[in-house]
Structure 1
Amino acid sequence: MLSKIKKLSLVILIITMTSCQDDFLETAPTDSVGPAVALADEASMQNVLNGIHRGMYSQSQTIFPGGNTARANDHWWVPQGDNLTGGIIHSADANNLGWRDNMQWNDHIIETSLTNEILWYHRYNIILHANLIIKRIDEGNLIDTPTLRAIKGQALTYRAFALLSLVQHYSKGYLIGNPSTDPGVPVILEPQTTGPRGTVQQVYDQIGKDLDAAITAFQNAAPRSTGGPETKSQLNINVAHGIKARWALSKGDWQTAATSAIAARQGFPIMGEADWKSGFNSNSLPEVIWGSNVIGTETTFFRSYFYLMCNTFNGSQNRSNPKIADRRLVDAIPSTDYRKDVFLKDAPNSNASAANGQGGWANNTNPLYTTQAQWTAARNAIRSQYGMTSGHNTHPYMHVKMLQKNPGTIDPDDIIYMRTSEMYLIEAEAKAMMNDIPGAQAALQALGGARDTAFNATTFATQAALMAQIKFQRRVELWGEGFGYTDHIRWDEGIDHGANGGSGASIILYQDAFVIAKPSVNNKWIFKIPQAEINANPDIGPGDQN
Structure 2
Amino acid sequence: MNKYRISKKQALITLVFVFIVNLFVSCDNFERDFQDERFLSEEHFTEINNSGGTTGIVALDGASLSYFRDGEDGEIEFGIKSIDLGMDLRSNDMDMSRSTWYGAYHRYDNTVLTSGNNDFMWEFFYKAINNANQVISLISDEAPEELLVYKSKSYAYRAISYFYLIRIYQHTRADDSTPAIPIDFGDFVGESKATVGEVKKLIFDDLTAAYEGLKNYTRATKEEVDANVVAAYLARYHLTYENWSEAEKYADIAMKAGSISADVAHGFDELSLSEAIWGAVVTPNTSEVYQSFFSHISQINDGYSGWNHFKTANSNLVDALPASDLRHSWFADQEYPPGVVIVPGTWPHYNRTPKYTSLKFIAQPGPGQFIGDYIYLRNTEFILTKAEALARQNKTAEAQKTLFDLNSVRDSNYTLSTNTGQALIDEILFYRRIELWGDGVASFDMARLGLGLNRKDGRVNLVQPGADLVIPPLDTKMIYEIPQREVDANPNIN
TM-score, normalised with respect to structure 1: 0.81
Q: Sequence identity of aligned pairs in percent?
A: 25
Q: Does 1:50 align with 2:52?
A: no
Q: Which amino acid aligns with 1:79?
A: L
Report the Cα distance in structure 2 between the residues aligned to 1:449 and 1:288, rounded to whole angstroms. Answer: 19
Report the Cα distance in structure 2 between the residues aligned to 1:247 and 1:39, rounded to whole angstroms. Answer: 39
Q: 2:292 aligns with which of 304, 321, 333?
A: 304
CA shift in 2, pair 1:392/1:252, >3 Å: same
2:92–2:443 contact (8 Å) kept in structure 1 = no
Report the Cα distance in structure 1 between the residues aligned to 2:191 and 2:50, rounded to whole angstroms. Answer: 25
Q: Which amino acid aligns with 1:459?
A: T
Q: 1:224 aligns with which of 219, 228, 232?
A: 219
Q: Which amino acid aligns with 2:68?
A: M
2:292–2:370 contact (8 Å) kept in structure 1 = no
Q: Which residue of 1 aligns with 2:320?
A: 332
Q: Which residue of 1 aligns with 2:244?
A: 254
- CA apart distance, 1:463: 1.8
Q: Which amino acid aligns with 1:25?
A: F
CA shift in 2, pair 1:11/1:5, >3 Å: farther
Classify the secondary structure of the residue corresponding to 1:243: helix
1:150–1:236 contact (8 Å) kept in structure 2 = no
Q: Which residue of 2 aligns with 1:177?
A: 174
CA shift in 2, pair 1:149/1:291, >3 Å: same
Superposed counterparts of 1:331-350, under 5 Å: 331-348=319-336, 350=337
Report the Cα distance in structure 2 between the residues aligned to 1:43 and 1:18, rounded to whole angstroms. Answer: 9
2:267–2:362 contact (8 Å) kept in structure 1 = yes
- CA apart distance, 1:292: 1.5
Q: Does 1:413 align with 2:413?
A: no
CA shift in 2, pair 1:519/1:383, >3 Å: same
Q: Which residue of 2 aligns with 1:531?
A: 484
- CA apart distance, 1:4: 0.6
Q: Which residue of 2 aligns with 1:429?
A: 388
Q: Which residue of 2 aligns with 1:148?
A: 147
Q: Which amino acid aligns with 2:212?
A: T
Report the Cα distance in structure 2 between the residues aligned to 1:123 and 1:409, rounded to whole angstroms. Answer: 29
Residue deviations 1:489-518, cap 9 Å, x none?
01111222222x324234xx342x312323
2:64–2:131 contact (8 Å) kept in structure 1 = yes
- CA apart distance, 1:166: 0.5
1:59–1:300 contact (8 Å) kept in structure 2 = no
Q: Which amino acid aligns with 1:269?
A: S
Q: Which runs of 5+ in 2 are unaligned?
A: 18-29
Q: Which residue of 1 aligns with 2:130?
A: 128
Report the Cα distance in structure 2 between the residues aligned to 1:389 and 1:518, rounded to whole angstroms. Answer: 43
- CA apart distance, 1:101: 1.7
Q: 1:504 aligns with which of 438, 441, 461?
A: 461
When the two chains are superposed, the root-mean-square deviation of aligned CA atoms in Å is 2.6
Q: Which residue of 2 aligns with 1:515?
A: 469
Report the Cα distance in structure 2 between the residues aligned to 1:271 and 1:121, rounded to whole angstroms. Answer: 37
Classify the secondary structure of the residue corresponding to 2:372: coil
Q: 2:307 aligns with which of 306, 319, 342?
A: 319
Q: Which residue of 2 aligns with 1:106?
A: 109
Q: 1:19 aligns with which of 12, 15, 33?
A: 33
1:428–1:443 contact (8 Å) kept in structure 2 = yes
Q: Which runs of 5+ in 1 are unaligned?
A: 62-67, 226-230, 351-378
1:75–1:303 contact (8 Å) kept in structure 2 = no
CA shift in 2, pair 1:199/1:392, >3 Å: same
- CA apart distance, 1:39: 12
Higher helix share: 1
CA shift in 2, pair 1:21/1:125, >3 Å: closer
Q: Which runs of 4+ in 1 moved over 6 A?
A: 5-10, 37-40
Residue deviations 1:146-175, cap 9 Å, x none?
x323212211111110010110101111xx
CA shift in 2, pair 1:270/1:13, >3 Å: farther
- CA apart distance, 1:324: 1.9
1:14–1:38 contact (8 Å) kept in structure 2 = no
Superposed counterparts of 1:363-512, under 5 Å: 380-383=339-342, 385=344, 387-460=346-419, 462-499=420-457, 501-506=458-463, 509-511=464-466
1:13–1:48 contact (8 Å) kept in structure 2 = no
1:270–1:287 contact (8 Å) kept in structure 2 = yes
